[in-house]
A and B are shown apart, each in its own frame.
Chain A
Amino acid sequence: MDQIGFLEPRPAVLSRRREIVADLLDLLPEGCLVHQPRELVPFETDAFVSYRRLPLAVALPETTQQVAAVLKYCNRYGVPVVPRGAGTSLSGGAIPQEDAVVIGLSKMSRILEVDYANRTATVQAGVTNLNISDAVSADGYFYAPDPSSQLACTIGGNIGMNSGGAHCLKYGVTTNNLLGVKLVLVDGTIVDLGGKALDAGGLDLLGVVCGGEGQLGIVTEAIVRLIAKPEGARPVLFGFDNSEEAGACVTDIIGAGIIPVAIEFMDKPAIGICEAFAGAGYPMDVEALLIVEVEGSEAEMDAMLASIIEIAHRHGVKVVKESQSATEAALIWKGRKSAFGATGRIADYICMDGTVPLGQLSHVLRGTAEIVAKYGLRVANVFHAGDGNMHPLILFNANDPEDAARAEAAGNDILKLCVDAGGCLTGEHGVGIEKRDLMRHQYTDIDLAQQMAVRAAFDPQWLLNPSKVFPLEGRPAA
C-alpha cells in the first residue's frame, strides 16, 4: 500500500547522513547506535506493516541524559526524531522516515521503585506493560490498562498512545492510571510532570503528553498507579443468535447501572478464528458472543451475574457459560487477546479502532457489514463493547494491490460511519499515519489549528514524529 504519504525527507539532513551518524556515535556509548542499512531493517515499520521506511539511524540510549543529548543534537541540526517503544503500534505511530533518527527506549527497561504505601510504581519507559503487573502480582497488586499486546508493548508507548485494553471499562485507560512522567523536551530539557501527589497544580501538561503520540517530547520514566487485585474475577460467555441483540444487551447492562470490569464482543468469524487458535471453549453455534467479566467477592460476583443473566435473557441469549476454573478463565482471555494474531494466521487484515456511543453499537455493526460487503471483502468483529470501542478486522490479500486498496477504502468508510454516529476515529490505537488524513472528518480547521498550536508550543520546528496525526496539508509554517 502506498496511499498514505510521508513528509518529503529533508535534503539537508539526508546529505549530512554520514556526519550525523558520526556525531551520534560520539554522543552515545558503544552499542547504542544502529546505522548499518541491514541492521536498520527491523526498525522500518511497526504493527501497521503495510507501510515501511528505513530510518537514518536508530539510537538506543541507556539513560535519560543520553536521550536528552540526542534530542538536543537533532533539534540543533533540524533532524526529525521518531520515538519507539516495542513497535507494536497498529496505526503506524512508530514507523520512521528516511531523514529521521529513531530513539528506541528498549534499553531503558528497569522498574525503578515499587511503593506500596503510596500504591505507585516508578518505571523506565521501555518496561513492558505486563512486566509491571508481574512485578507486583505476588504482593497482591496490578497495573490496570491491559492492551492485547501487553506482553510486548512498553509503558512509554502506552503513554504515547494513551492505550486502553479490555479492562478499561472499570479502571480507565492509561491517562487515568498515570501519575507522573520524566519528559525530555525537543531541545533536550528534562522536566518532571506530576508525581506521587494527585494534584500537580498549574496546567495539566501530563494530561496532554499522554496520548501525544510522541510529538510533545520523549517520556523516559513514568509513575503509574497500582491497584489491589480483586478477590476474584470470573469471565462468563453469552452467545446470541445475532449481533444486534448482543449489542443491545451491552447497552442494557450499562443502562441498568451495572459496570462489569470488561464486556468484550466477538462475531461469528472472530469466534471461529480465536477458537481455532486458543481452544478457549467458545460456543461455535452462535452468531455473536459477549465475554462479560465480573470481579470481587463471591457474593458480589453472584449478585452482579444474576442481574446480567436476567438482562441477557431479555435479549434471547442462547448460551450462558461460566468459567469453572482459573484455567478456563485464562483460556477465555487468551482466545480474546490473541484475536489479532490469530487473524493474521488466516489472512492479512487491517484493524479499525473507532469508538461510538453505546446506543449506536447495533447501527454501526450493521453499517460495517454493509460497507465491507460493498467492497467485496470479509470482516471479523472483536472489540471492547462496554465502552463502544469497535475493532472491525478487515480481511484482505496483501499480495493483491487492488484488494489492499479496497480494504483501506472500506476502513475509511467505517471510520467515517463511526464519527457520523457521534463517535471518534480512534479509541485506543492512536491516529498515527493510518487515520491522519481522516482528521478533518472529525475536526474543523479551527479545532485542528488549536491542537497544532499546542503541539508547536512543545515542538516549534515540528521535528518529533512529524508525519503523524495531523494532515500534511494545512500545517503552520515551522
Chain B
Amino acid sequence: MTPIHEPLSEEAAARLVHVAALTKSAVVIRGGGTRSLHATPEGTDVLSARGLNGIVAYNPAEMTMTARAGTPLETVEAALAEKRQMLAFEPNDLRAALGTSGIPTIGGVFATNASGPRRFVAGAARDSLLGVRFVNGRGEVVKAGGRVMKNVTGLDLAKLLAGSHGSLALLTEVTFRLLPVPETAATIVVSNLNDAEAAAAMATAMSMSVEVSGAAHLPESVRGRFVGGALPDGAATVLRLEGLAASVAVRAEKLGAAMARFGAVSQIEAETTRRLWREIRDAAPYADGTPRPLWRVSVAPIAGQQLVAALRLETGVDAFYDWQGGLVWLRMESDPEAALLRRYIKAVGGGHTTLLRARPEVLAATETVQPQSDAVAALSARVKASFDPNALFVSRMVG
C-alpha cells in the first residue's frame, strides 16, 4: 500500500517534505487525481493537496481570487458563478474521458495548466495565474508573484509552477485573475467541410474583427456525439461568439455572411452553445468507456489537419479539432503509435503531445510526453534541481 499523506496546513506539508528530504524518499504530488492514469511508482509516498482546502480571499471588484490548492474546482466555480465571474481559460474535466473518479482541485488545474477552448484567444491557465505559494523540495515555503494583474518584480516563478505536474514543488495556494461571464453566447455552424476546408474557414474567421472565442472542427465521425446529436448533418465547423447581446447579434450576422462561401451556415443559441463548448472542452466523444489510446496533440493551427491526414494513411485514427485546429484530440484504434505520431508532429513543424489514456501496461511502457532537445532537457533538469535538489518529486509528465 502506498502511504498517502494529506497535510491540513502549509506548515504540515512543509514538515512532511522536510522529512522526505532527510530520508530521501520519493514523493508523488497529487491533487484530485482526475487528470492522470499513471500508477504511483513502487516505493513512493503520495503527498495530497486535498487537505489544503478553502477560498482564502475573493474580491469580485478586483477580479481576483486566492484559494488553497486543494480547494475543489467546483467550489471555486460555484463562488464565481454567484458573482457572474469565471476562469477565462475554461479548465476541462477529464473524468469521463479518462474514467477517473476524484474531485478536480484548483491546484491540479494550475499544476497541469489545464485549459479549454478559449485558450487560443484568452490564454492558458498559466496566463491567469498571478501568484503562488508552494513547498519546494527543501521543505521551504516560498511565495512568488502576487495578487495584481501586472507584476514583473523578479522572476515569474508562477509560470514555471503552472504545468509543472508536481515535478518542482507542492502548490499550497494559488491567486488567479477572473473575467466577467459574457452576457450571452452564440455559435455559428458551417456544415459539411472536410478537415482542410475547415482549417481555411477557421483561419478566415480568425482574421475578422468579430472576436471569435472558440473555433473547433467536429468531423462527421464525432459530430453526432455532441449536444445529443442536435448539430446539422455532416461535419460541423463551429465558431463561438460571446459578449453583450446586441454585439453578438451583429457579429454573428457578419461572421455568418463571411462563412457562407465555405458551406451551409446555421446558428446555435446561448444554452446549446454553452453545452457544446463544455463537451468540446472535455473531449466528450471519447468518453466512450474504452481504454483505446487517447492523445492530446498541440501543433500550429494549420498543421492539425495535415497531421491527421498523414496519420490516416498509415493507421486507424479518429480525431476532432479545437483551438482553430491547433489542438487535436486523437483516438487510436489499437496501438498508441507513439513513434509514428512523433515523426509526423515533427514533419508538420513541431509541437507537443500527451498520451492521456491507454491500457495500464501500454501507458507504463510508452513515453507519454514529447521528448525535448538535449539542451532544453539539460536546462530543465537544472531548473528542477533548483526547486528540488534531491529529486524527491516524481512526475511522469515532466522531467
* Interface flags, B318-353, vs A, CB<8A=1, else 0: 000001001100000000000000000000011111
Beta-carbon contact of B155 and A297 below 8 Å = no
A447's contact among B62, B143, B181, B323, by CB below 8 Å, is which? B143
Beta-carbon contact of A387 and B148 below 8 Å = yes
Beta-carbon contact of A205 and B387 below 8 Å = no
Beta-carbon contact of A424 and B153 below 8 Å = yes
Interface residues of B in 142-187 (CB under 8 A from A): 142-144, 146-157, 159-160, 162-164, 167-168, 179-181
| Listed stretches B4-12, B43-51, B376-384; interface member | B376-384
Beta-carbon contact of B148 and A424 below 8 Å = yes
| Listed stretches A332-340, A353-361, A369-377; interface member | A353-361
Beta-carbon contact of A422 and B147 below 8 Å = yes
Beta-carbon contact of B149 and A355 below 8 Å = yes
Beta-carbon contact of A228 and B206 below 8 Å = yes
Contacts of A435 in B (CB 8 A): 153
Interface of B is mostly: mixed
| Listed stretches A75-83, A168-176, A392-400; interface member | A168-176
Beta-carbon contact of B247 and A203 below 8 Å = no
Assembled-state Cα–Cα distance A37/B63 (Å): 52
Chain B: how many interface residues by the 8 Å CB criterion? 88
Beta-carbon contact of A357 and B148 below 8 Å = yes
Beta-carbon contact of A300 and B386 below 8 Å = no
Contacts of A458 in B (CB 8 A): 379, 382-383
Asked if A461 lies at the interface with its beta carbon under 8 angstroms from chain B, I say: no
Beta-carbon contact of B300 and A203 below 8 Å = no
Asked if B264 lies at the interface with its beta carbon under 8 angstroms from chain A, I say: no
Assembled-state Cα–Cα distance A287/B217 (Å): 53
Contacts of B349 in A (CB 8 A): 195-196
Beta-carbon contact of A357 and B383 below 8 Å = no
Given A118-B300, A431-B153, A454 and B383 contact (CB-CB distance below 8 Å): yes
Asked if A389 lies at the interface with its beta carbon under 8 angstroms from chain B, I say: yes
Asked if B375 lies at the interface with its beta carbon under 8 angstroms from chain A, I say: yes
Asked if B291 lies at the interface with its beta carbon under 8 angstroms from chain A, I say: no
Chain A: how many interface residues by the 8 Å CB criterion? 93
B148's contact among A427, A429, A454, A470, by CB below 8 Å, is which? A427
Beta-carbon contact of B298 and A259 below 8 Å = no
* Interface flags, A186-220, vs B, CB<8A=1, else 0: 00011111011111111111111011100000000
Asked if B64 lies at the interface with its beta carbon under 8 angstroms from chain A, I say: yes
Beta-carbon contact of A429 and B61 below 8 Å = no
Assembled-state Cα–Cα distance A331/B375 (Å): 49
Assembled-state Cα–Cα distance A323/B296 (Å): 47
Q: How far is the CB of B382 from chain A (nearest CB, A)?
A: 4
Beta-carbon contact of A451 and B144 below 8 Å = yes
Given contacts A185-B379, A205-B380, 16 further A-B contacts (CB under 8 A): A117-B301, A176-B123, A191-B375, A198-B327, A199-B124, A201-B353, A202-B377, A203-B380, A205-B376, A254-B62, A357-B62, A389-B149, A389-B150, A426-B152, A450-B136, A457-B385
The interface of chain A, by Cβ under 8 A from chain B, is 116-120, 140-141, 161-162, 164, 168-169, 172-173, 175-176, 185, 189-193, 195-208, 210-212, 228-231, 251-252, 254-255, 257-259, 296-297, 299-300, 303-304, 355-359, 384, 387-389, 422-431, 435, 439, 442-444, 446-448, 450-451, 453-458, 469-470
